[in-house]
Structure formats: C-alpha cells, structure tokens
Amino acid sequence: MKLKYFPILLVGISALLFVGCKKDESQPVTNGNDSTSTFIIPTYADDYSSISSWSNRDSWNLANAHDPSVAYYNGYYYMYGTDASYGNAAEGHGHFQGKRSKDLVNWDWVGGPFYDAPSWVADSLNAIRSRMGLVAIAKNNIQYGYWAPVVRRVNVGGQDILRMYYCVVVFNYIKTGTMTFDGSWSERAFIGMCESTDPAGAVWTDKGYVVSSSSDRGLDYSRSSESDWNAYFYYNAIDPTYIVTPDGKHYLIYGSWHSGFALLQLDPTTGKPLNKLGNPWATSLSDLTSLYGVRVGTRTASSRWQASEGSEIIYKDGYYYLFMAYDGLDVPYNTRVVRSSSIEGPYYDITGRNFTSGAGDCYPIVTHPYKFNLSYGWVGISHCCVFQKENTNEWFFMSQARLPVNVGGNAYSNSIMMGHVRRLVWCPASISEPNNLWPIALPERYAAVPDYGTITKDSLVGTWQHINLKYSYGVQDAASALTLKADGTMSGALVGSWSYDATKKQLTLGNVIVCVEREVDWEATPRRVTFVYAGTEKSLNATYWGKKDK
C-alpha cells in the first residue's frame, strides 16, 4: 500500500462548504441533567476549507494538523506535525508547522524549525552512497519528503529545552539516483534532531544526523518491480518517538511499515546514539540489530511491508505503553496499544498477545473510524501523540482526523485533517481485574468542560448513542440507540443489566466496564455538554464508545 513512501497530495477546491474557524464564544450550556452553567465552548467548524489558504493561518486553530507531537514548555503546549495542508496551502512555508496553546482547546500558529532540507541530509546520503560504491546524487536532484516529528521537553545541563527528532525521506531510487524506476528500492529515510529554547520565535538549532534506514541484506537493493513490497530496508527511519525512563536513560523508538519498531539508546546530553552505528547495512540481522536497535514490536513477524507505523511511548505506573497506528491513513487508520514492564519489551496486548514477537493484531482499540447519528463522523484517526497535562493526572491523546469522502459534495473532503485532542481514560481489562487499567480515548474531543461535580446514576438514565468500536478495515463503526432504564436494565444496542460506581465514574454495561466523563457533543446544533463513555473488555476485541442524547 502506498503510504509514507509517497507524498501526501492534497487538492484544494474553491467551493466554500461551511463556515470557517472562528473565535470561541461564551454561551449557556446545559450539562446533561445537571445545572446550567456558562463557559467557552468551541465553535470552529470541522470543514475549514474556506480558510485553508496560507494567509489565514492565524485562524486555523487545529486545522491542517497531521502526525502531531506535543510538549509543554514555558507555559504553553507546543505541537509540531507533518506539513500536510489542505490544498497544499503551506507549500514553501515550512515542513513542520507548529501550533501552541495554553488550554489544549484554542491553538495559535507558530513557525517550524526549518524551511529547506538541512544540508547534512544530502551530505550523509552521498557519503553512504560512496561507501556503497554508488555515484553521488546532485543536491538539486534529490527529492525530499518531510514527516512526523516528535518533540519533548528535556533538561540538559540544568536547562529545560525542547528537543525535536524529525524525518527527511529521499524518494530517488538507489541504483541510479534518479526518479525513474530502475529495478531498485527507493532511497533511505533519515532522522535528524534539533533543539530550541525559543520555540515561540521559531528559533531552532539543528544538530544533524541521528539515524537512517538500514538493511540486513548487504548491498542487494534489487527490486523485481514497483509492486514488490519485500523491502530492502529492515528498519525504516521515520516516525520516531522519544522517552526518558524513570532511571534517566534516553531512548528513540522508530520505524514503520517495514519490519517493525526499533529501540535505540541515546546519549542524554547530545541526543545522539549512545553507541556508534556504523554502516546502515549488514549481511545478517543480528549484526544489523546490534547497531541499529533491537526490534521491540512487529504486527507480523515475517512481513517486510506491514501496516503498522507511528509509534508513541509513555511511562505510567510501572508500565511502558506503546501506541501504534494500523492500516492506510486515508480512511482505515486506527490506533492500538500494548505495554511492557521493561523498555526493551516484550510488549503484550490486553489479551496477552506478544507484540514483540509478532503474535497477531493487538488490542485494545484506542481509536477507529466512527460515526455518530446525524453526522458524517471521522476517519483516519491515528498516528497519535500521548501526553500528560502539566501538574495533573490527566492524560491526552492527539492525532489528526479526516472527514470521510464527499462530505457536503466535496470530492476532496478526505484531505481535510482537523487536529483532535481527546482525553484518555484508564479502564479495567475485565470485571475480575479492576486494577488492570488500559488507556482508551474518549469518543468526543476535549473542550475543557468544567467539573460540575459528581456524575450520578440518575443522570445516566436515558437514551444514548452506542458504538461497538470494532476492527473493520476502512469501515466507519456506526452508532445504535441504547436505553439505560431507571430500573437498572438496558435495551437496544445492549440488553441485560447496568450499574454505576459514582466514586470511580465507572459504568458497567453487562460484563464491560466503561469510564464516564463529561464532554461536548460536537455534532449537536448548537454544541452542548453531555455525558460520554469509553471502555473495553479483554476478550471483546473491541471498544465501547457512547454519548448521551437525552
């Protein structure tokens, strides 16, 4: 499947379908069955095509977001992501666009780290080609792609800085260095690093080369045809995620679509590999992985072209949680999570499947294409960042989400990518394992709804839209009506009994425990506060999402 090795071509149209993004407005909001309060609720439109031009970038808010990464620095949350703007609005204006926010709801545009490929990329590429016995590619003939940065706040020498790892991909073919298929694989990707103490001013210092795509096939880069996906590279040097462990060690996890995810230890001070990497090719897998990182995860152990990418790692309560994207990014994109008590793995899913050894598709589902009633819904929801809100115990999931095809008659609506920030809830794996908690994203976006107090059992009685968020390639999971009755029974999408623990905010639907929160119903007109839930069960191979209608 042609994904990250090919540019994302986004085509703009002149038709203006909906109202563009605008400043939030204060409006009265009824909070379910609770009292009426007033707070600022987002009003910006999901379809931002009317303001997609570069001149409107100060009005974008979360428009034109793709592969985001978020870090907190000097009072703001800074987000950087792949430049994939609707209608190529940002073409020529920077490769990693930035935004910043104080509240995770309202975002302002900030500049990215650079506007042309750093010179070290061509130099490193041609140095590698020389060692491979290949002719150099003229710098003005190199075709680049720019993808998926990760940003973290780290302390170096007593000073907090933002450290960013970014990806630059070369599309030329290996054998001849041209853009015409020549019986070889396309050239390698590179991960570089830059640092900043002034992200608001877009002042970044580039630190250069970190790692490149690497092969266990020596110099045999031959390819039978363009439809041959048996990749030359074992590790694909894109989609990095970065973590500092509780004992102060720094690691990069990178790789996508080829053979899985590599774990590479870094020097905390320089941010570069702790050990010398050597040539990015070897004649055996063991020789390669001893230098370029151990494989900590793979969707399919034997595949050289598997549909998993965009890993993100966090540490919480004794576990490393590794999130990843599955499948094509236009519609099918969905998110899974596995965990390990060791940074090196093995990583297991909720059922005990070993993701490190490639024991099959992993669960739970964190996000998946979905559709609530009376709305077009969202697709392509993955390649996430996961972060903790400063000085709280709240965790957040952020990714782009795409509109489905032909929304409002727009043939290019699937190229509209709105950044979605969602709270994560930590849900029991089963009724018998109440403390075995796994992260699931809430079904509605974060809007900073105030804490109106205890959510009571009585307030949950009524009609809900329930989604059985299950894996179905390229299909939006749709909502069905669910009624929670005052007598503790339920009908519609689920039948049986329900109960609620107000202290834990846990709703039990049959044998599945879901976590209940207040969020905004973004599909309502006007948007309003309601109750939502999310949760799973270890044998379900799916996730329950729901929001209350009335």
Quickly count: other Cβ atoms within 10 Å of residue 426's Cβ. 15
What is the predicted pLDDT for the residue at 14? 32
CA distance 109 to 267: 32
Query: d(Cα 500, Cα 485) in Å, to the nearest integer?
Result: 12
What is the 8-class DSSP label of residue 122?
Answer: H
Q: Is 291 helix (H, G, I), strand (E, B) or coil?
A: helix
**Helix H or strand E encompassing 204:** strand 203-212
SS3 156: strand
- Signed CA dihedral, 449, 452, 455, 461: sign only: negative
CATH class belonging to 113-326+334-368: mainly beta
| Bond prior to 346 in cis (omega within 30° of 0) | yes
Tokens for 156, please give them: 């170096």
Structure tokens at 2: 């042609």
pTM: 0.93
Q: Which amino acid is at 455?
A: I
| Token pair recorded at residue 253 | 């996890």
Strands (E), 255-394: 261-266, 294-297, 308-316, 319-326, 334-340, 365-367, 370-371, 379-388
Q: Which of 162, 168, 176, 82 is nearest to 120 (CA)?
A: 168
Three-state SS for 414-453 is HHCEEEEEEEEEEEEEECCEEEEEEEEECCCCCCCCCCCC
**Torsion angles phi and psi, residue 336, rounded to 5:** -125, 165
pLDDT tens across 359-395, in order?
Answer: 989 999 999 999 999 899 999 999 999 999 999 999 9
Residue 123 zone, left/alpha/beta (φ > 0; ψ -120 to 50; rest): alpha
**430: exposed, middle or buried (C-beta count within 10 Å: 0-12, 13-18, 19+)?**
middle
At 435, phi and psi to the nearest 5?
-105, 5
Residues 29, 463, 399, 517, CA torsion sign? positive
Cis preceding-peptide flag for 364 (omega within 30 of 0): yes
For residue range 24-53, list pLDDT tens digits in order: 333 344 444 444 457 899 999 999 999 999
**Contacts of residue 504, Cβ cutoff 8 Å, sequence gap at least 6:** none
CATH code for residues 457-548? 2.40.128.10
SS3 334: strand
Give 197's contacts (C-beta < 8 A, 6+ positions apart): 159, 160, 161, 162, 203
Residues 6+ apart with CB under 8 A from 376: 403, 404, 407
Residues 296 and 356 sit within 8 Å (Cβ to Cβ): yes
Q: What is the CA radius of gyration of the chain?
A: 23
Q: How far apart are the first and last CA of the chain?
A: 43
**Close Cβ partners of 80 (under 8 Å, ≥ 6 residues apart):** 68, 69, 96, 97, 98, 112, 113, 149, 151, 164
Residues of the chain with pLDDT under 50: 1-36
Q: Are 241 and 321 in contact (CB under 8 A)?
A: no
CA pseudo-torsion sign 518, 522, 523, 526? positive
| Enclosing H/E stretch for 292 | helix 285-292
Confidence (pLDDT) at 91: 81
Burial 38-61 (b: 16+ CB within 10 A, else e): ebbbbebbbbbbbbbeeebbebbb
**What are 253's strand-pairing partners?**
241, 263
Peptide bond into 526 cis (omega under 30): yes
Q: For the chain, which residues make up each domain, given as ranges? A: 113-326+334-368, 457-548
Residue with tokens 């999570």: 337
C-alpha pair distances (Å), 385 with each of 271, 329, 390, 464: 20, 16, 15, 29
Handedness of CA 491, 496, 497, 498 (dihedral sign): negative
DSSP string across 211-240: EE-BBSSTT--B-S-TT----S-SB---S-
